[in-house]
Amino acid sequence: MPPDDHPFESLREQLDTAARYVDIESDERAMLKYPERMHEATLTLELDDGSLDQVRAYRVQFNGARGPYKGGIRYHPAVDPDEVRALAGLMVYKCAVVDLPFGGAKGGVVFDPQDYSERELERITRAYATEFRPLLGADRDIPAPDINTGQREMNWIKDTYECLENTTAPGVVTGKAIESGGSEGRVEATGRSVTIAARELFDRFDRSLEGATVAVQGFGNVGSVAATLLDDLGATVVTVSDSTGAIFDPTGIDPADVDRFKAETGTVVGYGDADERTNTELLTADVDLLIPAAVGNVIDDELASDVQADVIVEGANGPLTPAADDVLDDRDVVVVPDILANAGGVTVSYFEWVQNRQRFSWSEDRINDALETTITDAFDEMIRVSEDREIPSLRTAAFVIAIERVLTAMEQAGKRAKHG
């Protein structure tokens, strides 16, 4: 397999590239690139027909220098240890670049949730929470939603943990339903930060989103919200997709209406008068802004040379391979990296965790204002570092900021020789 098919190798490559701009000895780089610990388990569950089934489950705690481990749990048949390691590492640097007091972690369970009933999903989720309970805690490791998990799963995890610990501990998990201690604005937060990142980048180039054409790959929690908010800002969303296919309408698609259509039919395909397209056609569409908001590794170097958008804002984690990044850099396509653009999710997770600790609720306006400040401050800092230190790739600039914050915390904890 080429290295591009290994997300963990891709992350290490990105970290090595950024480490060249950081005051770090080469023998110290391993502590940036490898997880502190990796847990795996086989979960046994009873199916509705009374038979037993087993699924593999993981939790990787990558780095805890800046605070409790933080990161989502993904349910997907393609989950593998290499991917979970990569996603856990991304969480470390994502939390650091937006300056949240968290480390990074990630969980995954290898199965297709579509093959299981709701009761069976509940048993898998509770088995996960039970198995990994000793690791979890509002001051230890705080899961959240990721692909194929949401409020329902987080509510189950909270309940399982609280029953086993004989306490109330809403801050043990974020992304809960409001009534179970969730936060206003959490569901929309990731799509909102993608939109803020796009708006800031267009502003920098004195370009307006008004009338800009947009392609959104993935019409789930991130893509549908980003499409709707960009439409609100006057952009024209011309193509969107989900796992069943893509649709295209040069006159513009109403994202809120597609959302309703998808809720009814389970797919975006067949919506209105839009033409059907392939996912590759969406990724290479002649648009101003491309938002990959589905899974990882969707744009490799070959596809990157056919991308026509001049701006890419990463809604998904790891949608571009490092080789694709090189091609896009050479072609002057500007990429706003995942660790900043989609950091809105974990940022509002942080606000949720703070509210849980305060036993107090913030208004949606307060959440969205604080999110706006967090993302625009981090964006400005990324641009400043890119310019001052002559780092052309925004991804590398974002990693430099994040790495330096993590290293400082490690140094202060006595886990690194003093520098400077």
Q: Which residues bind ligand GLU (CB under 6 A)?
A: 70-72, 144, 146, 174-175, 317, 342, 345-346, 349
Cα–Cα distances in Å, from 179 out to 151, 154, 166, 315? 10, 12, 20, 27
Cα–Cα distances in Å, from 273 out to 139, 191, 228, 252? 51, 26, 19, 11
User: Closest approach of Cβ 269 to ligand GLU, in Å?
Assistant: 26
Tokens representing 287 are: 């648009």
User: Closest approach of Cβ 346 to ligand GLU, in Å?
Assistant: 4
Shortest-Cβ-distance residue relative to ligand GLU: 72
CA neighbor of 347 nearest in space, from 366, 365, 374: 374
**Which amino acid, one-letter code, is at 285?**
A
If the CB atoms of residues 174 and 241 are measured against ligand GLU, the closer one turns out to be 174
Rounded CA separation 352/368 (Å) = 12
If the CB atoms of residues 349 and 368 are measured against ligand GLU, the closer one turns out to be 349
If the CB atoms of residues 260 and 357 are measured against ligand GLU, the closer one turns out to be 357
Rounded CA separation 397/87 (Å) = 19
* Whether 106 is catalytic: yes
Burial of 387: CB neighbours in 10 Å, binned 0-12, 13-18, 19+: exposed
Rounded CA separation 12/92 (Å) = 13
Identify the active-site residue in 33, 106, 176, 262.
106
CA neighbor of 211 nearest in space, from 192, 191, 238, 193: 238
- Phi, psi dihedrals of residue 341, rounded to the nearest 5°: -65, -40
If the CB atoms of residues 235 and 406 are measured against ligand GLU, the closer one turns out to be 406
User: Closest approach of Cβ 352 to ligand GLU, in Å?
Assistant: 8
Number of H helices, E strands in the chain: 15, 12
**Which amino acid, one-letter code, is at 133?**
R
User: Closest approach of Cβ 395 to ligand GLU, in Å?
Assistant: 16
If the CB atoms of residues 255 and 318 are measured against ligand GLU, the closer one turns out to be 318
Q: Mention every residue, 6+ apart, whose C-beta is less than 8 A from residue 205.
A: none
If the CB atoms of residues 144 and 324 are measured against ligand GLU, the closer one turns out to be 144
Q: Do residues 201 and 212 touch, judged by C-beta distance below 8 A?
A: no
If the CB atoms of residues 224 and 342 are measured against ligand GLU, the closer one turns out to be 342
CA neighbor of 315 nearest in space, from 189, 191, 185: 191
User: Closest approach of Cβ 296 to ligand GLU, in Å?
Assistant: 11
User: Closest approach of Cβ 418 to ligand GLU, in Å?
Assistant: 32
User: Closest approach of Cβ 350 to ligand GLU, in Å?
Assistant: 8
Cα–Cα distances in Å, from 269 out to 244, 265, 266, 408? 7, 9, 9, 49
Q: Where are the beta strands (DSSP E) in 89-232?
A: 104-109, 141-145, 213-217
Q: Which residues are tagged catalytic?
A: 106
